[in-house]
Chains A and B, each alone.
Chain A
Amino acid sequence: MPDNFESFIQQHRDEFEEQGPSPRVWGALEKELTNQRKGRVVLLLQKNWFKAAVILVLFVNAGALFYFTKHKQQQRQELAVIAPEMQEAKAYYTSRINEKLEQINAYPVSELGLDSTARKELELRNDTYKALEKELKNNPGNERIRAALIRYYQLKLDLLDKILEELQEKRVTPGHTKKQYEAEI
């Protein structure tokens, strides 16, 4: 049972309360909480250093890839800028050469009479082409190289035309062997 003193305290309990703390307390607390958050990020990195390292490596790789791609695109753009007429010629001849190559490739290998080295030489981007293209990039204003590249395209087209003519003379149609053709007629 409460005595006189305890009863007095209970009856006047609220009067014993003082004002709250000064704003200084929250100011200091807020600063501390901000530091705590920063500290937590560092702690998290320390705990997961391996994951952080992997993420860093992936990030660096992605960056390098991005730079490489960008650089490549820039190179292509540069070629188109420094020799626009050659770019047009390249587009035209490439399209025609590829068209002929498709026709030739439709014939059975046995009917072509060409070994793999020869067939590879027929491809547009052979060693000669690559060397000429490289020279052009290094010397875009050199007329001799331009002329040589155009000549290369023309010779390649001529060669492919001749091969196609020969195949037609043998009366072999794409997808048929000579024996099949003879059997049909």
Chain B
Amino acid sequence: MKASASNLNQTQIAENVIDRCKKGDVRAFRELYDAYSAAMYNICLRMTNNVSDAEDTLQEAFIQVHRHIHKLERDGSISAWIKRIVVNHCLNTLRKKKVYFEDVDEVEVMTEEGVDEAQHTWTVAAVKSAIRDLPQGYRTVLNLYLFEEYSHREIAEMLGITESTVKTQYMRAKEKVRQIVKQQNVTR
């Protein structure tokens, strides 16, 4: 069964696959790759925002998985472990592209007060498109929180910024998405 990022925890792989991977069995590693590559590719695609970077990042991440799989403890969660490696590689890819995750002045924090959500007509395509159009920093925070389900604190640690900055950037990202979708609705 292939995993999507949303049902990653339910992904089943044969019990001995990890042990065989630890012994360097390439066929077992192929089984592991088949089970998780789709979900991990989607993370890469959301984070890097283009197919070429997503595939390169996925490849590098799985090389890392292969290299360090012997460190995985028997009762450790393979999906969470692989996901963390993939996310770290995505962040490295972004850093190489000079994307900075900076702290922001809390005074600038926007609130959602007064936002009339009822006026938005959400569609998957519209939201996808809007997220793709977000500035890289906002998109990263929004993806990590909304799609990869990391907490604000975990995201803050990953990006090396404060938790309050993460919250602020998430709020701004959501607001930006709303604006883009609203704009799309108007122009249609």
Contact = CB atoms under 8 A, between A and B. Distances in A.
Given A6-B146, A15-B124, A28 B41 contact: no
Contact of A21 (B30, B38, B147): B38
Q: How large is the interface on B (under 10, 10 to 19, 20 to 34, 35 or more residues)?
A: 35 or more
Interface of A: 3-6, 8-9, 12-22, 24-26, 28-30, 32-34, 36-37
Interface pairs A-B: 8 shortest CB-CB: A20-B38, A4-B117, A21-B41, A13-B6, A8-B122, A17-B4, A15-B124, A25-B55
Contacts of B112: 3
B63 A16 contact: no
Interface in B31-55: 33, 37-39, 41-42, 45, 54-55
Contacts, number: 79
B59 A25 contact: yes
B63 A21 contact: no
A16 B128 contact: yes
9 contacts: A4-B117, A5-B117, A13-B147, A18-B41, A19-B38, A21-B37, A21-B54, A25-B58, A29-B33
Nearest to A21: B41
Nearest to A30: B26
Contact of A12 (B38, B55, B120, B124): B124
Given A16-B127, A22-B55, 4 more contacts: A17-B38, A25-B37, A26-B37, A32-B59
Residue among A15, A18, A32, A34 with most chain B CB within 10 A: A18
Nearest to B30: A26
Contacts of A21: 37-38, 41, 54-55, 58
